Amino acid sequence: MAIVETVVVGHVAGFCLLLAWAIRRRGAVDLIAGYDGGLPPEREAELARDAAAVLVVAAAASGLIVVDAWTGAVPRPGALVTVAVVAAVAWFLWKWNGREPGAD
């Protein structure tokens, strides 16, 4: 069963990393759902960095599922992955939606 989990999680993690690379490499903030434009270029670059970071965290956290499948050494890997991804997404949403513009 570990091979199946590795393949499935590997595809998901690979897609997250590919999307993070595309966003970061080209600053393609139009790949970010819900972004409607209007930010200055330096803020768009920051948005691209932050979105790519969230995707990398999701890919890395999902690796815990693979580690657990092969070793059985990770206690409650699903809960740890969920907490890591929720924390990264909550940080991203707070940073880009929860603060007043210019309050840096």
Asked whether residue 80 is assigned to any structural domain, the reply reads yes
> How far apart are the C-alpha atoms of 31 and 7, rounded to whole Å?
25
Q: How far is CA 57 from the centre of its chain?
A: 5
Asked whether residue 26 is assigned to any structural domain, the reply reads yes
> Per-residue pLDDT tens for 28-42?
776 776 677 777 878
pLDDT at 72 over 80: yes
% of the chain at pLDDT higher than 90: 43
pTM for this model (two decimals): 0.83
> Per-residue pLDDT tens for 2-35?
899 899 999 999 999 998 998 887 667 767 766 7
* Both tokens assigned to 21: 């690379």
Name the residue range of residue 64's domain: 2-97
Asked whether residue 104 is assigned to any structural domain, the reply reads no
Q: How many domains does the chain have?
A: 1
